[in-house]
Amino acid sequence: MPSINEKITEEIRKLASSLLDSGTVAAFLGFTKGTLPGRMQPFVARKPEDAQKLHWNSFCVVNLANYLPALLKSFEPPRRPNDPPPEGPLPKVGVLATGCWSRNMVVQIQENQIDRDRVVIVGISSRGMVDRKKLLEKVGGREITSIDEDDHSLTVTGQGFEEKINRWDVVRDNCQTCVHPDPVIYDELIGELGGERKIPDRFRQVDEIEALSIDERWSWFQNEISSCIRCYACRNACPLCYCPTCFVDDSRPQWVGKSIDKVDTALFHILRAYHCAGRCTDCGSCESVCPMGIRMRLFTKKLQKDVLELYDFEPGLDLETPLPLSTYRMDDPQDFILTHIKKGEEK
Amino acid sequence: METGKNSDWEPKIIAFLCNWCSYAGADLAGVSRYQYPPSIRIVRVPCSGRISANLILDALRSGADGVLVSGCHPGDCHYISGNLYARRRFALLERFLEFIGIEPGRVNFTWISASEGEQFAKVAQEVTERVKRLGPARKLVKEIESCPA
Amino acid sequence: MSTPKGSVLVVGGGIAGVQAALDLADSGFYVHLVEKSSAIGGSMSQLDKTFPTNDCSACILSPKLVEAGRHLNINLLTLSEVLDVSGEPGNFTVRVKQNPRYVDPNKCIACGTCAQKCPKKVPNEFDLGLGKRKAIYLRYPQAVPLKYAIDPKACIYLNKPGRCGFCQKVCPTGAINFDEKPKELSLEVGTIILALGFKPFDPTSLDFTGYGKLNNVVTSMEFERLLSPSGPCMGHLERPSDKKEPKKIAWLQCIGSRDINRACHGYCSSVCCMYAIKQAVIAKEHAQSGDLASSIFYMDMRTHGKGFEAYYERAKEQGIEFHRARVHTVLPAENDNLTLRYTDTKGNVHEEEFELVVLSVGLETDPGVMKLCHELGIQLDQDNFISTTPFAPVATNRQGIYVCGAVCEPKDIPQSVMEASAAACKAQELLSKARWTETKKKEFPPERNVYAEPPRVGVFVCSCGINIASVVDVKEVTEYAKTLPGVVFAQNNLFTCSQDTINQMAEIIKRERLNRVVVASCTPRTHEPLFQETLREAGINKFLFEMANIRDQDSWVHQNWPEKATEKAKDLVRMAVAKVLGDEPLPYNQLPVTKKALVIGAGVAGMVSALSLADQGFPVCLVERKDRLGGHARKFFRTWQGQPMQEYLEELTKRIEDHPLVEIELGATVEEVSGSVGQFKTRLSNGKDVEHGVAIVAVGAESYKPRTGKWNYLYGKNPNVFTLLELDQRFIKADKALSGLNQAVFIHCVGSRVPERPYCSRVCCTHAIDQALKLKELNPDMDIFMLYRDIRTYGKREHLYQEAREKGIIFIRYDLEHLPVASEEDGNIVIEVEDQIIGERIRLHPDILVLASGVRPRDDVGELSKLFKCAMTQEGFLLEAHMKLRPVDFATDGVYLAGLCHYPKPVEETIAQAQAAASRAAMILSKDAVPAESITAQVNPMKCTGCGVCTRVCAYHAVAIDQNSGKAAVDTGLCKGCGACVAGCRSDAITLRNLGNEQLMAEVEAAMEG
């Protein structure tokens, strides 16, 4: 009996092929297997026969929404900055979307980065993607030569070892704490919806840090980012980091130095996270692609927690609710305003 | 209203004040001769809504021991709603900075109207005292040559 | 009337005259401003601080004077007097005599060498003789024009030619001309505005005060000079006898006011209570030892203006003592001290010693003014003030001649400014056909293109007299400024805002080829426009300018840390220099003007404003929420001078209804407002859209009805309890029953001057007393009792109070601890009150009880104020742009206010304010375009992602995503330059011109470099 992922892979191929064949879409964005076990890479199928290369498993960690604007743009005729938009309908693109990716697409639609009419969103309820670092840890850091997966376990083999690992144990933190695994917008659905998940302590990781003293938190933060090599993989993998000139690359003004000085690194991480405030859907791409294992998701998760707490908002759940930093309420909380001095602080 | 007996160190605090309320309030403190410590360096901006997280962080990076951002009271913004957008930006930034270990009191936010000269002097006093208790800011100050820890 | 002249004569260069001149000159008329002394500024320039904001008088006045002095359409005629007037309204011929200055103003550079060398010292009249000046002198340091003058009575040379003449020898520019002769000018003008001001009462004749005999008895005007930093003791409070700082000062109120017997002035001078409190507060601040004891001796505390009552309460908290007592003698005591003998409210006689006594002298008309009025045929009233009527508050008996300020009744500065604008309004109505016929146009020299030039910054460091220099080492700051990158010139000035320094600055900019300027002085909020214009005159763009606020935000707030204040001043200068280096020249944007006004509220204020604008030829849309015109005034019986209100109202309504330029929208309110000055678009509740260039808010207020609580006094329970307006209704209906009453009781201050409504409603005392007199008229035998806290019949209203007492109306004072108590016995009203003089409880059995309850703001004013982006006071009245000098403007351009929504006021003041609002509105409507914001947002399309955050956070809908490019684009006409978009943009793609991130960062980083 085929596994869930095998069934999904089959359905993806069938659907992509028919969308391409009928000319509904000019391209279909999914994943194909990478060169290493447990590495998937984004793949664009442009012909019906390409669809056979599409694949789905627990290692699809990169948010496909990241590639969508550029892919859409590639189908537009070239034009100069002030030329009128091309007339007539432009080619569409099909794309796979789990819960967090679809929410991310919602944000991008709200921010005019994706034209909803030009995408055929193929929704897949996410069962959680695997954290390769957790997996490596399970096998003691030994080199993995192949991974076989069924619905609830992974069989990992390498030079002189084969281990069966409980899949959920190595699922990414963001997926483990995800409450919206289902796509929020889609045109086609593959598999079944899993429904909202109840996670009472979805912000547990943030709560733990908040419980630390101010100095401990600073040490934690310093320690967390100390290995950063400023490669910007986190930024590049993030679909929300779409500025043509990122603040880290700007020289007028120079917000952040380009060195790996700890202050510059800290400012980079603070601002990167802050720029995602009220927008980040916790897809985990940033963390998944970090070569140094920095858990920068904790930063965005903190902001996500505060946005929910202060403004009762979660990004990407619908197209209508305005993003929290471009709206306000007269009675927004303002405990932080001086003269409302916080308890316990003035010890 | 004077302090500073506990230490001779005078912190430097960057105050971003909106032109219409808080800057006028600071002027009124002067007109009314309310005295406050000479630690505040006022940067006049049109509206508290002009102030971004980037600017606040830049002040800290440049070596400010503290930052104060003040705008019109909610509902009084000369530009209708600038301070209300600002309030959301600041609320998230303030919590985030505290989360990563920046001491509460380094970055302060308040509302001061054009008629609150005394309030301005009090806030200047209070912010100075807070920052003095914390001591010189080190965490986000970029040094020319990093000293070994 | 044939074609009228397009110019106006304003007589008197005090604040009222200057305001009238500026209003007219800015709306298309040429103004001749005649001033008898050598400089404009009037009495206000002699004041130290102004109540209730404690603004430095010179500081807020100075920019206006300089503006008037520099105005292309104001012809300043100092040392001049009007001889006579002939002709008719629209075409007057005025003969003016201009006395010689003996100093050529075109040559004088105000260096002061002449005065240094002049051997002749005479008492300085600007300091009321407390200090000395030379025979060649400047009236005061910030004088406009800043030109020396020779006093011909004192000058040795002029009296004995050949004797002295030192000044002529030392003058570096050869400006002295002893041969100058008086000139006679003949001016052709359309109208004349008299702003002749007042003279402080001279108490020499009042023996009991000891004035003139005892050294340490001074008048309040003298005390202003003692407090003033530019006064005889440089702002260090000293008493005249021994130059020691007094530790105990008494103020005696009502000197030369409310005194028929000794001073022959029955009226109340209206301003003395407030200025005495102000002086007491300021003196306490000045006192270096910090233990000054201040006592004010008064009859009634009259704090009846906006913010006054709160000021009074604050003064009490600050420890200023208030004695309700009239001092009968001031006696000499040891050490030049003074003993006051006075009787308290219980009749006990006290003696107390003081080190200085200040006489709160009243205001009266100068005999010279009376003479002029006589020659011009202008009618004076019994108090020698110019006669006006409540329905034409700025018109004299002679058509085409208007009046404003304290010459028609003692009044404070905002009231004078209001009347000045009102007089300007009346002049415009008469001459509207001649607008722009005689004006000149300001031509600035072409601006130098500075883009390619390396920065050449000039820094001007101001001493502000001693305001800055006494704390900050300005010389050190100046020297420091010279070391800053980009700075090629720095100098220190005594008063950077004086005309002379400003002219010099323009010269220096040209000479040194400066392309950036920094002034380190006071606050840009008042002085930036002045300096910016100087840059334009010197041929560089005015946005290449920054100020460092080293006074309000440095020297004034760090008085005890001179060294640190100096360090801070250096930091502030360095920050300003860092900022100015990034400044670029900006365009002078303009907004076209829709020549139509929207007036909201059709009470007296709204109708007067609307009519005045329509009479000037501007279409008006008048919106009224009710279904009829008239507002609050419908309920009024008569003015306090006895004119029936309803007749006036009828006539006014008819004129409005018949006017072809007024469209009336009844039963409508304002729902939505967009746009800004010059081009508003307003949606009314009836669905109509109105496009208009200006708006006047005149939505009125409500009367307070004490339905519950401790001020209830059976109101709503007993049919014979009324409010003032309810009694007025009965007068209007000529209710016969009123003549049959035997006893009436009025309770004053019902629900006023208490923490919930901490302001005085200004009108109720006069209204109640007038009603009491009307009742007496109906039945002379009626017993009438007035239960009051302070009687506030300010100005000429005091005559009513005198009349009431003469007619046997009984006044009984109560205070908040001893409120009158009302009860019912068999349906009859019983009032119990403690008479504080005899110390007994009195029971009264009135047939009617009248509650003088105050005026309260309307609850819906808040919403309206938000629509027009206007501010409100804590009490809920609308807040003008400046309490003293902009009493009818809002901070929002193009929106004005008038009437009760501003503050409670009687009808004559409402009419004056409504006319003033029309005058201010006409300043916009008379132009085809008004200047618009230059500091606007700008998009860098290379960085823009089109995400739209900027479009959502912009409150003015000034940013939109361009459909073609997909990038944000700014409509600079709508942009107000707040920068919300800049802070919202993650991509740094939108910036504010001259307030970009790079510049602010440079400023912040500069702050840290010290």
pLDDT tens profile A136-166:
999 999 999 999 999 999 999 999 999 999 9
Residue B118 has pLDDT above 90, yes or no: no
Query: In angstroms, what separates the C-alpha of A282 from chain C's closest C-alpha?
Result: 19
pLDDT in tens, B21-36: 899 889 888 877 889 9
Residues of A in contact with C961 (CB under 8 A): 112
Q: Are B54 and C524 a contacting pair at CB < 8 A?
A: no
Predicted confidence band of residue C460 (pLDDT cuts 50, 70, 90): very high
Is the CB of C584 inside 8 Å of chain A's CB atoms? no
Determine the pLDDT at residue C1.
57
Torsion of CA C383, C384, C385, C388, to 10 degrees: 90
Enumerate the domain spans of chain C. Answer: 1-99+182-198+365-443, 100-180, 200-364, 457-581, 592-700+858-930, 721-854, 937-992
Residues of B in contact with C955 (CB under 8 A): 79-82
Is the CB of B143 inside 8 Å of chain A's CB atoms? yes
The helix (run of H) or strand (run of E) holding residue C783 is strand C783-788
Q: Pick C937-992's CATH classification: 3.30.70.20, 1.10.240.10, 3.30.70.360, 2.30.42.10.
A: 3.30.70.20
- Angle at alpha carbon of residue C216, lines to C211 and C220, rounded to 5°: 70
C457-581 against C592-700+858-930: fold identical? no
Determine the pLDDT at residue B144.
62
Q: Are C986 and A111 a contacting pair at CB < 8 A?
A: no
Residue C655 corresponds to which amino acid? R
CB count, 10 Å around CB of B82? 31
- What percent of chain C stands above pLDDT 90? 84
Is the CB of C1000 inside 8 Å of chain B's CB atoms? yes
Predicted confidence band of residue B145 (pLDDT cuts 50, 70, 90): low
- What percent of chain C stands above pLDDT 70? 100
Q: Render the burial of C275-286: b for 16+ CB within 10 Å, e for the rest.
A: bbbbbbbbbbeb
Residue among B85, B89, B110 whose CB faces A337 most closely:
B110
Query: In angstroms, what separates the C-alpha of A113 from chain C's closest C-alpha?
Result: 7
Torsion of CA C150, C156, C160, C161, to 10 degrees: -60
Q: What chain A residue is nearest to B93 in terms of C-alpha separation?
A: A274
Residue A13 has pLDDT above 50, yes or no: yes
Residue C447 corresponds to which amino acid? E
Determine the pLDDT at residue B71.
95
Phi-psi region at B115: left, alpha or beta (left = phi > 0; alpha = psi -120 to 50): alpha
> Greater confidence, A341 or C27?
C27
Q: What is the DSSP code string of C13-38?
A: -SHHHHHHHHHHHTTT-EEEEE-SSS
Residue B147 has pLDDT above 50, yes or no: no
Please tell me whether the peptide bond between C820 and the residue prior to it is cis, using omega within 30 degrees of 0.
no
Q: What chain B residue is nearest to A296 in terms of C-alpha separation?
A: B100
Enumerate the domain spans of chain A. Answer: 132-170, 204-326
Query: In angstroms, what separates the C-alpha of C318 from chain B's closest C-alpha?
Result: 13
Best CA proximity match to C420, nearest among C815, C33, C962, C807: C33
Predicted confidence band of residue A345 (pLDDT cuts 50, 70, 90): very low
Residues of B in contact with A257 (CB under 8 A): 142
Round to whole Å and give the CA distance between C765 and C854: 10
Q: Are C987 and A111 a contacting pair at CB < 8 A?
A: no
Residue C297 has pLDDT above 70, yes or no: yes
Residue B4 has pLDDT above 90, yes or no: no
Q: What chain B residue is nearest to C991 in terms of C-alpha separation?
A: B50
Query: In angstroms, what separates the C-alpha of B31 from chain A's closest C-alpha?
Result: 23
Token pair 């390396």 is found at: C454
Query: Domain spanning C592-700+858-930: which CATH class is it, in words?
Result: alpha beta
pLDDT in tens, C72-81: 999 999 999 9
pLDDT in tens, C732-785: 999 999 999 999 999 999 999 999 899 999 999 999 999 999 999 999 999 999
- Chains in touch with C (3+ beta-carbon pairs under 8 Å) read A, B
Q: Are B75 and C955 a contacting pair at CB < 8 A?
A: no
Query: In angstroms, what separates the C-alpha of A48 from chain C's closest C-alpha?
Result: 33
Which of B6-15, C320-329, C330-339 has the lowest average pLDDT? B6-15
Q: To the nearest 5 percent, what fractions of chain B are helix, strand and coil?
A: 40, 15, 45
Residues of B in contact with A310 (CB under 8 A): 88, 91-92
Per the DSSP assignment, residues forming a β-bridge with B16 are B43, B69
**What 3-state DSSP class applies to C193?**
strand
Which domains are assigned to chain B? 13-134 (3.40.50)
pLDDT in tens, C685-727: 999 999 999 999 999 999 999 999 999 999 999 999 999 999 9
Q: Are A325 and B85 a contacting pair at CB < 8 A?
A: yes
The answer to whether the Cα torsion of C392, C398, C400, C406 is positive or negative is negative
Is the CB of A324 inside 8 Å of chain B's CB atoms? yes
Q: Pick C200-364's CATH classification: 3.40.605.10, 3.40.50.11900, 3.50.50.60, 1.20.140.10.
A: 3.50.50.60
Query: Domain spanning C457-581: which CATH class is it, in words?
Result: alpha beta
pLDDT in tens, C813-828: 999 999 999 999 999 9
**What 3-state DSSP class applies to C475?**
helix
For residue C590 the two structure tokens come to 């303009």
Q: Are C943 and A326 a contacting pair at CB < 8 A?
A: no
Residue C156 has pLDDT above 80, yes or no: yes
C506 phi/psi in degrees, rounded to 5: -60, -40
Determine the pLDDT at residue C228.
85
**Which of A72, A238, A248, A326 best probes binding to C when mutated, by most C CB atoms within 10 angstroms?**
A326
Phi-psi region at B103: left, alpha or beta (left = phi > 0; alpha = psi -120 to 50): beta
Determine the pLDDT at residue C932.
86
CB C946 within 8 A of CB A112: yes
Determine the pLDDT at residue C998.
95
Residue among B38, B47, B51 whose CB faces C568 most closely:
B38
Predicted confidence band of residue B6 (pLDDT cuts 50, 70, 90): very low
The stretch C47-69 carries a mean pLDDT of 84
Q: Are B33 and C53 a contacting pair at CB < 8 A?
A: no
Residue C71 has pLDDT above 50, yes or no: yes
The CATH homologous superfamily of the domain defined by C721-854: FAD/NAD(P)-binding domain (3.50.50.60)
What ipTM did this prediction achieve?
Answer: 0.95
Q: Is C203 exposed, middle or buried (0-12, 13-18, 19+ CB in 10 A)?
A: buried
Give, to the nearest 10 degrees, the angle between helix C57-70 and helix C524-537. 20
User: What CATH number has the domain spanning C100-180?
Assistant: 3.30.70.20
User: What CATH number has the domain spanning C1-99+182-198+365-443?
Assistant: 3.50.50.60
Round to whole Å and give the CA distance between C340 and C429: 54
Is the CB of B3 inside 8 Å of chain C's CB atoms? no
Determine the pLDDT at residue C497.
82
Query: In angstroms, what separates the C-alpha of A230 from chain B's closest C-alpha?
Result: 17
Query: Chains B, C: CB contacts under 8 A, how many?
Result: 149
For residue C300 the two structure tokens come to 């009634």
Best CA proximity match to B90, nearest among B132, B44, B147, B49: B49
| Whole-number average pLDDT of chain C | 94
Q: What's the per-residue H, E or C state across A226-294?
A: CCCCCCCHHHHHCCCCCCCCCCCCCCCCCCCCCCCCHHHHHHHHHHHHHHCCCCCCCCCHHHHHCCCCC
Residue B3 has pLDDT above 90, yes or no: no
Residues 1 to 60 of A: which have CB under 8 A from any B CB?
none
Round to whole Å and give the CA distance between B106 and B13: 9
Residues 153 to 212 of A: which have CB under 8 A from any B CB?
206, 209-210
The stretch C933-945 carries a mean pLDDT of 95
**Which of C557, C954, C992 best probes binding to B when mutated, by most B CB atoms within 10 angstroms?**
C557
Round to whole Å and give the CA distance between A337 and A326: 20
Q: For residue A274, what are the CA distances in angstroms to A215, A293, C948? A: 21, 20, 18
- CB within 8 A of C351, min separation 6: which ones? C339, C340, C341
Predicted confidence band of residue A342 (pLDDT cuts 50, 70, 90): very low
Is the CB of B95 inside 8 Å of chain A's CB atoms? yes
